[in-house]
Chain A
Amino acid sequence: MRLHNLNRGFFHWLAVIAITLACISIEGEWKWLSEYPNAFIAPFSDWLNVIMDWTVNNCGSFFMGISWLLEWPIWAVQKVLNWLPWSVSVFLFSAVAYAASGWRLAIFTLSATIYMVVIGYWEESMNSLSLVAISVPLAILIGFVIGVWGFYSDRAERVIMPSLDLFQTVPAFAYLLPILLLFGFGTVVGLIASVLYSFPPMVRNTIIGLRSVAPEVIESGLMSGATPSQLFWQVRVPSCRRQILLGVNQATMASLSMVIIASIIGGTSDIGWEVLTTIRKAQFGESLLVGMVIALMAMIIDRITFGLAQRSGIYDPNQQGLFERYRLLLIAALGGAVLFVLAQIFSVLVDWPREMVWSPGRAMNDGLAYLIINYHAQIDAVKTFAFFYVMLPIKIGLQGAVSPFTWGFALTPYHKAIYTLAMAGFSLWLGLRGKNMAGVLVMLFAVFIYFGLTNIPWPCVILIYGVIGWKVGGRNLGLGTMLGFGFMAVTGNWAEAMLSIYLCGIAAIISFIFGTSVGIWAAHNDRVSAFVRPINDTMQTMPLFVILIPFVMVFKIGEFTGLLAIIAYAFVPAIRYAEHGLRNLPETVIEAANMMGATKNQLLWRVKIPLALPVMMLGLNQTIMYAIAMLVIAALVGTNGLEQIVYIGLSDGNFGIGIIAGLGMAIIAIIADRTTQAWSRTRREQLGLDASL
């Protein structure tokens, strides 16, 4: 008998599965099991709308004042950037790139900015840039101040950290509307949204950085006779400069992506707006070309701030003269001035003439149309296959998806019996081999697939996720998970929440499996690694809208397109973490395994992957977070989950439903984050690996 292997946890799971099956069987009689009763839905969104109306009516002028204040600097930067001839700006940007990281980046910057000029979007690019130019410093300042506050006060930190999670997980579409209502129409909405979204990484990095300063460095500062302010500005802050600059870098990236998303509101003639209007006009070629501008801008700013973070001040007071010190600055100023004068003579250098704009957008559209017409059958086949055999079964279960119309046959009791027996037998076999958890997983999977993710009675879903949270992260996580899901039920968003989880879940699983496989390959092959790295970098700096474009082009609007776009964005972290985890295993363990005569395969599956699994789990964590971020954008192509409600809330001007649905998405993200983190942490502790990562 192997039954002694079956511990308490196993019976907990058996009980959960039994309850679920019981609930499903009596669903017919007790309607409230399958559908959360309307009578118990609390009208949170109405209350929120009332509060919002009151605020707008009573404090409106206050917010409008702030709005007016913020409008100014954006306007000024915009004026300057539009006034400068493009040739001067291009030169100066390239000079900054050179100063930050050398020739390669300078040449890249030069080509990228000239691209913006040539395709005829220079002015829009500069308008987007001016928004970033104000929002980033603002986000950095706010983030730094809050970070310092959190560093010095534990109580403040306890409030700050969870709020940061909310700021980063509530989708921007949800808070664009309240900002719009409070601050009025215009560029300021984009500014505030982008500050709200981009200050959290600055806070985190500031706190981490200040924490990481070695106590002896502080003590040596004190013993040098530093006053408190000297200690802060000359010891603490510069010692963790790198971490803080990393925060600057991340804040910049976040801000840039949000500037684009915020332009959905319109009213600005910037890149984001161009992307959206071209998408709406189905000019996919053009939208991709414009979208590239944002991607390029993100890459350049990313590399520049990163370069500055890496560079240590090569300042030598003894040997450099004044000219040496400011040489680059002088050359830049001089070059800029010369170009400025030249621009007065040759007007090409000021305004790129319309007839010289070169844009392959039309050609791309034609090519695409050709492709779609000629490969219509194949594209449809892929879509149908994925829909009938993957998405539908997971969504409504085999019992609903299998029909003569889709799979070519109907489920008979005979089929059902075989399915039940096979699954039960498989999980029992796993259980008897001591793999209790695998057995449980198979059973859960069997139930989910048969009845469909969205058809499981809501109390059971709450129970199942609660138990997962409890098993993985302890009582608090279990309780928190249940409360979080309860929120979705009480606010009346249950069905949509399940649809979000379903779409995001499939996407995350596929991304994880695909990304991890590539990561494993890359970890064993430097060539592959060198090949995927730039692709990863590009995908990560690519604005979400832009990733959407090619898929809409080929597959049109629909859930499947959303799924593909999510996968395209979310597989990147899985690659990164898998490769990182495998490449940083303790050398001795590998050597020991080799000495025991492990084959390559054994080494990989028995030693390396189990040891790297915790790090890969962090990859899964990031994959899920990326998937949720993209899910929000995927609402644009017509998905049906919470993200759609958020989007509807925005377009209908219904603040309440948007923000409630947005909170729901944040809850899903936070639960997924906490669960995967907890699992990874316990695993690392069990394996005796470095628990801080």
Chain B
Amino acid sequence: MKTSVEDRKEIKLSCRNVWKVYGARPEGFFENGNGLVKDVSSHAEKLRENDHIVANADVTFDVHAGEIFVIMGLSGSGKSTIVRCLSRLVEPTAGEIILDGEDLLKKSDAELIDIRRHKMGMVFQSFGLMPHLNVIDNVAFPLKLQGKAENECYQQAKRVIELVELQGRENNYPKELSGGQQQRVGIARSLAVEPDIWFLDEPFSALDPLIRKQMQDEFLSIQLKLQKSIVFITHDFHEALRLADRMAIMRDGAIVQIGRPVDLILNPVDDYIREFTLDVPWETILTAADIAEPSDEPLAGLGSVSEDTLIEKLLYYLGDNDRGVIVHAKDGSVLGVATARGVVKALSAGSGPDTSSVKV
């Protein structure tokens, strides 16, 4: 499923050289407002020296229709800021944001309100529920703002409340609900207007680990039904791995690497990324396709597996069969041979070319 996104690369939302700088006069540092600078890191350095806070530096990525795009990074790395730039809750200092082929930053206030009413949904880390409204009124709130008939609002609200499995709690107030339930309300509310693009800023970070896992599963099953284009923010690498079709890792406001989770694990661009991937349970991430290599040797007598088989399932077999196993693509073609050496090689990508402990 994850690779299938690659096939239809229709771009939903794209973020081009976006900068967000807090401080006295950040605009002066960007001549034409498009965020293109020669040397990103030295430009950011210059801004910081002049008492500015660089929350986002030259952030560029695309979100494809129907995919879950995860942005991961330590706290303070600029994740919330970039997602707020995408929804224009925060006005970017420079750069472009293109939604459905149109420049979001050029929209008037009225157009923006319209876009938010129909195209965007957002979920917040601390839920952002209206304390004075009960569950159903909270969920119906965005619909009511649009001036829809009360009846219609409540029917739609009921539907999404069922989607997040909160039926029966319609009359409760947020403070009467547990954290997990409150976030379900937040999710329901953001889905009530049936948005195309869905922003989630660390939606599960405030929840207990067990609840978090359960919410992730439900989130995936909702997405399976709805197929939204999603920007999902998290500081938890494991959460990113579970959910992401593609992901970006941020540091100091800039994106360090973008790719599928597996790409990041197999080919981390630097130690910062490698640090995250170190304690990843690789055997549950890597698939046969990731370690398949073309082979010159005859394939006769080898077993065969499909490309999305997890390495975990192959380990025992490879331990006994050093010639490996044939990897088949979905359409039946042969991708190559997975061997024990391939597994080791893939893993070594995560640990760097350090051979000092080996005596030759």
Contact = CB atoms under 8 A, between A and B. Distances in A.
Interface stretch (A111-119, A158-166, A220-228): A220-228
Interface in B135-154: 136, 141-142, 145-146, 150, 154
A317 B150 contact: yes
Interface string B102-123: 0000000000011011101110
A239 B128 CA distance: 11
Contact of A224 (B117, B132, B134, B150): B117
Interface in B281-333: none
A216 interface: yes
Given A224-B145, A239-B130, A239-B132, A219 B124 contact: yes
A41 interface: no
Contacts of B113: 225-227
Contacts of B133: 238
Nearest to B112: A225
B124 A224 contact: no
Interface string B152-195: 00100000000000000011010000000000001001100100
Q: Name the residue in B120, B121, B131, B171 with the highest tally of chain A Cβ atoms < 10 Å from its Cβ.
A: B131
Contact of A223 (B121, B150, B154, B171): B121
Contacts, number: 76
B141 A224 contact: yes
Contact of A216 (B124, B136, B173): B124
A534 interface: no
Interface string A186-227: 000000000000000000000000000010110111111111
Contacts of A241: 132
Contacts of A230: 145
Contacts of A239: 130-132
A216 B134 CA distance: 17
B122 A219 contact: yes
Contact of B126 (A214, A222, A223, A234): A214
B89 A223 contact: yes
A599 interface: no
Nearest to A319: B171
Contacts of A601: none
Interface string A423-446: 000000000000000000000000
Contact of A225 (B145, B150, B154): B145
A226 B154 contact: no
Nearest to A213: B131
Interface string B185-215: 0100110010000010000000000000000
Contact of A220 (B129, B136, B173, B193): B129
A264 to B, nearest CB: 42
A312 B130 CA distance: 13
B262 to A, nearest CB: 33
B34 interface: no
B200 to A, nearest CB: 12
A239 B133 CA distance: 9
Contacts of A214: 126, 128
A291 to B, nearest CB: 39
A223 B132 contact: no
A88 B129 CA distance: 43
B186 to A, nearest CB: 8
A238 B132 contact: yes
A682 to B, nearest CB: 29
Interface in B64-95: 84, 87, 89
Given A224-B145, A225-B116, A225-B117, A316 B171 contact: yes
* Size class of the A contact interface (CB-based, 8 Å): 20 to 34
A235 interface: yes
Nearest to A234: B145
Nearest to A216: B128
B223 interface: no
Contacts of B19: none
Given A225-B114, A225-B116, A226-B145, A217 B171 contact: no
Contacts of B132: 238-239, 241, 312-313
A114 B116 CA distance: 57
A217 B142 contact: no
A134 B247 CA distance: 62
A58 interface: no
B125 interface: yes
Contact of B154 (A234, A312, A313, A317): A317
B127 interface: yes
A91 B173 CA distance: 33
Given A220-B124, A225-B116, A312 B171 contact: no
A223 B131 contact: no
A589 B12 CA distance: 55
A7 interface: no
Given A230-B145, A234-B145, A317-B150, A222 B131 contact: no
Nearest to B175: A312
Contacts of B116: 222-225
Nearest to B123: A220
Interface in A301-333: 312-313, 316-318
A312 B131 CA distance: 10
A316 B150 CA distance: 12
A317 B170 CA distance: 11
Given A217-B131, A219-B122, A224 B114 contact: no
Contacts of A234: 141, 145
Contact of B130 (A235, A316, A318): A235
Contacts of B126: 214, 216
Contacts of B136: 318
A225 B110 CA distance: 9
Q: Name the residue in A223, A230, A235 with the highest tally of chain B Cβ atoms < 10 Å from its Cβ.
A: A223
Contacts of B199: 223
A219 B128 contact: yes
B142 A225 contact: yes
B164 to A, nearest CB: 16
B7 to A, nearest CB: 31
A238 B129 CA distance: 12
Contacts of A316: 134, 171
Contact of B146 (A225, A312, A317): A225
Q: Name the residue in B114, B124, B173 with the highest tally of chain A Cβ atoms < 10 Å from its Cβ.
A: B124
A180 to B, nearest CB: 43
A223 B130 contact: no
A686 to B, nearest CB: 29
B173 A217 contact: no
Contacts of B186: 220
A676 B113 CA distance: 48
Interface string A277-302: 00000000000000000000000000
B128 A217 contact: yes
Nearest to B89: A219
B122 A223 contact: yes
Contacts of A313: 132
Q: Name the residue in A220, A235, A239 with the highest tally of chain B Cβ atoms < 10 Å from its Cβ.
A: A220
A223 B145 contact: no
15 contacts: A214-B126, A217-B130, A219-B122, A223-B142, A223-B199, A224-B116, A225-B114, A225-B118, A225-B142, A225-B193, A230-B145, A238-B133, A239-B130, A312-B173, A316-B134
Given A214-B126, A219-B128, A234-B141, 19 more contacts: A217-B129, A219-B124, A220-B122, A220-B130, A220-B189, A222-B116, A223-B122, A223-B142, A224-B141, A224-B189, A225-B113, A225-B118, A225-B146, A230-B145, A235-B130, A316-B134, A316-B171, A317-B150, A317-B154
Interface of B: 84, 87, 89, 113-114, 116-118, 120-122, 124-134, 136, 141-142, 145-146, 150, 154, 170-171, 173, 186, 189-190, 193, 199
Interface of A: 214, 216-217, 219-227, 230, 234-235, 238-239, 241, 312-313, 316-318
Q: Lowest 7 CB-CB distances: which A-B pairs, in order?
A: A225-B117, A216-B128, A224-B142, A220-B128, A225-B116, A223-B122, A238-B132
